[in-house]
Amino acid sequence: MATALIILAAGQGTRMNSDLPKVLHPLGAAPLLHHAMRAGAALEPERTIVVVGHGGDRVRKAALAYDETAEIVVQDEQLGTGHAVAQALPLLAGFDGRVVVLFGDTPFIRAETLEKLAASTADVTVLGFHNHDRPQRYGRLVVENGELTRIVEFKDATPAEREITLINSGVVACDAGILSDLVAGLTNDNAAGEYYLTGIVAIARARGLSTAAETCPEEETLGIDTRASLAAAEVIFQTRARAEAQENGVTLTAPETVFFALDTVIGRDTVIAPNVVFGPGVTVESEAEILAFCHLEGCHISRGARVGPFARLRPGAELAEDVHVGNFVEIKNAILDEGVKVGHLTYLGDAHVGEHTNIGAGTVTCNYDGVMKHRTEIGARAFIGSDTMLVAPVKIGAGALTGSGSVITEDVPDDAVALGRAQQVVKPGLAKKLFEKLNSSKAKRQKEAE
């Protein structure tokens, strides 16, 4: 059966105490919304509709950045979850399939759970979880003879109903046509004056439709409401990501110190040392090694490459096989071909370095003139001496050599040597005279101060 997603992402999240819409707060270096969209994408939905409200333009942009085919609908007034779904339903007119309603601030629902919801044969299926501590905030799912008979909000529940351990998550699956009819029957006759999506269960029962509850671990339904819950969610995400990496054949020598992003991809037999942070957009192929205290973002690292310690790879960094990037090296928007060595204390930005070239310590590609960025091209098997300043735009030919301490402002042909130093001048005995003068001046000042 065809599937459509409605993701509710209109809430302000007042308890976050933030100007940033709640669904845009980062978890695993990605907005919460992206986690929900990624979870829903496991169903291969024909349609994905995101309901936006508070900070709608920013949420729209984030949604489309993840899935450019997503459809956006605006909930101008936040009048409850039922009202939010009602804004999306006109886009599903004529859709013949199952609709799954998710929340943009609920990042951990697994694909297997959503598949159970989508495959349920009940007219309305609600996702719940068991909590034997019986939290006071949440509604209870009342199941009788295998059917979900009603959802009872805590404040309306009897003492016996409050003892129920099956808790409502709010996630719902329903056939599109039925959902439209049920939502149309919702009322806002409650203390908050809002239209609650959970009300469709009672309406469905009254109309003789089938209703059911599916369950999942409580962790999957965790919603983010506060900074504290966001921090707790980060712990859960990182724990999952580390375990998944290890299961996929990645060695983490100190797992608790490595931090992943939502889209991090690492090949088997790669070794990750302690205190490594992966920002968004990082792919590491098999048999690479990332040493301690590296920060990686928006980069690609090929098989057998070695990075760190204390290296930073920024967006656009492309490392071919067997490249070595050492300590205190920064790479940005630069391609390093096979076997390049950049040992230490170097910045390469907006550059292309040919295969098996050696970059000496302290080398800088001077790529920014205050207005524009310029590229540096270095050929294969070149040798760049320590403390070389490459003032872009500039090209260094294959097999060329630059002398240590050079400032290179012009192109260097293949196999040439380039020296760009100021002439050294030696003044015999002058150092002694200068130090005597300086020490005398210092002693005079100290005496005057007394």
Please report, for residues 84, 271, 325, the alpha-carbon distance to residue 292 in angstroms, rounded to integers and kept in the order given: 47, 10, 13
Per DSSP, what are the bridge partners of residue 250?
Answer: none
Write the CB contacts of 237 (distance below 8 Å, at least 6 apart in sequence): 27, 28, 107, 108, 260, 262
Question: Measured between alpha carbons, how far is 432 from 203 in angstroms, rounded to an integer?
Answer: 97
Three-state DSSP class for residue 185: coil
Question: Measured between alpha carbons, how far is 291 from 301 in angstroms, rounded to an integer?
Answer: 13
Write out the H or E segment, with its range, that includes residue 332.
Answer: strand 324-336
User: Does residue 340 contact residue 357 with C-beta atoms inside 8 Å?
Assistant: yes
User: Does residue 348 contact residue 330 with C-beta atoms inside 8 Å?
Assistant: yes
Question: Measured between alpha carbons, how far is 351 from 319 in angstroms, rounded to an integer?
Answer: 12
Place of tokens 């020490």: 439
Give me the catalytic one of 295, 344, 352, 374.
344
User: Does residue 40 contact residue 115 with C-beta atoms inside 8 Å?
Assistant: no
User: Does residue 202 contact residue 117 with C-beta atoms inside 8 Å?
Assistant: no
User: Does residue 401 contact residue 359 with C-beta atoms inside 8 Å?
Assistant: no
Structure tokens at 12: 């302000």
DSSP assignment, residue 136?
S
Question: Measured between alpha carbons, how far is 211 from 208 in angstroms, rounded to an integer?
Answer: 9
Question: Measured between alpha carbons, how far is 388 from 407 in angstroms, rounded to an integer?
Answer: 6
Place of tokens 């101060």: 449
Question: Measured between alpha carbons, how far is 164 from 176 in angstroms, rounded to an integer?
Answer: 30
Is 324 among the catalytic positions? no
Which positions are catalytic? 344
